[in-house]
Amino acid sequence: MLNINQFKELFKRIKGKRIAIVYIFEGDDSSGFKHFFIWKSNILTQWMNAVQELNCMPLILDVRTFIDKAINKTLPHIDFVLNMNSGTYNLSTMALVPSTCSAIDVPCIPCDAVSIVTGESKSLSNLIANAIGIRVPNELTPENSNGIFRPDNLGNSLGIKIGEVSSENKGLYQEFIRGYDVTTPVVYNALTQQMELLPSVIYLPESNDLKWFHGEREKNVREGYRMRTIDLDDETSRKYLALVNSLSVRSFCRIDSRLKCDEAGFYHNNQNNIAYFKDIYFIEINVMPTIQEKNSFSFSFDAIDSNHLFYPCIMAQKEDVGTISINSFLLASSMMFFIKTKY
């Protein structure tokens, strides 16, 4: 563990680094480049602003150009790659950028190829979570109508079906857990030098319907629910960190679970503020989460108070560069892990 002065010195070493932001070229549906989801310009802009906040130098490249230049050894010097090549149909394609980064020995944020092909696969991540001791929903046969189908590789809740198995995609058909969606961001803490949990966020539907979940439509319209933070008990926190470490995530990620509950509206009351391990059912781990204003990651970040482990890090960044956003916080935290180990 570092003291605050050591942390500040480590933070100063971020400045001046060149960061390649590698994004998906809209409309590129050639072999190996087909995507079901493309991060929009406002999300890319927030990352570019984060690079500027940290007094670093951005290099903006589409995936194809980055790969071509890496192969032909015509890339200028870069210190880090921020990988925005997400949302592919094929996980091996999604791992293209971090695999290339490994070949040219440049750190890739937020994760490497191994983390993608294991973490982003719902089948594999469910098996790993279960092996660690985190409860996962029971698998059901297609004849059972009390289930939920989740495609193995797709994100953003695309392709989810209630009560039936998709004929178009491979995936998991599991028992639907009545209750609430809970999401937990996990970030590298350069002060403690280990992964730490940010405040967990619970989604509370206005309908009080225990069958409600944060699906594709809800993510697009952002209405019909509210978010608030909720505490995880110690056992859940330990298991979550064990899962993250088993997947070699060293920057940031997000764990999504279902909190079992039989009483509608129970967690709408702020006095009911603890999620217990016995009620937690793992859904997925997102090793390349979308970061944007007013989503769960941003909401969690805004909820950090003076008692939280990340508070000294936040105050040190504000003191040094005068500002902090969720994107610059995550980017700085990720860079400090690699600077600690590489430089």
Task: Report the C-alpha gap between 17 and 81 in whole angstroms.
Answer: 11
In a domain, 148, yes or no: no
The per-residue pLDDT string of the chain (343 residues; one tens digit each, 9 = 90 and over) reads: 899 999 999 999 999 999 999 988 766 666 566 776 767 778 889 999 999 999 999 999 999 899 999 999 999 999 999 999 887 778 888 899 999 999 999 999 999 999 999 999 999 999 999 999 999 999 999 889 899 999 888 777 777 888 888 777 788 899 999 999 999 999 999 999 999 999 999 999 999 889 988 776 767 667 789 999 999 999 999 999 999 999 999 999 999 999 999 988 888 877 779 999 999 999 999 999 989 888 899 999 999 999 999 999 999 999 999 999 999 999 999 999 999 766 5
What pLDDT does 217 receive?
72
In a domain, 204, yes or no: yes
In a domain, 303, yes or no: yes
Q: What is the pTM of this model?
A: 0.93
Which ranges of the chain would DSSP assign to H, the alpha helix? 4-12, 41-53, 63-72, 91-94, 96-104, 113-119, 122-132, 216-221, 234-246, 296-302, 311-321, 326-342
Contacts (Cβ under 8 Å, ≥6 apart) of 161: 148, 149
Q: Which of 156, 130, 169, 179 is nearest to 282 (CA)?
A: 130
In a domain, 275, yes or no: yes
DSSP 328: H
Q: What is the tally of structural domains in the chain?
A: 1
In a domain, 116, yes or no: yes
- Residue 279 belongs to domain spanning: 4-140+174-342
CATH number of the domain that residue 303 is part of: 3.30.470.20
| 8 A C-beta contact, residue 121 and residue 152 | yes
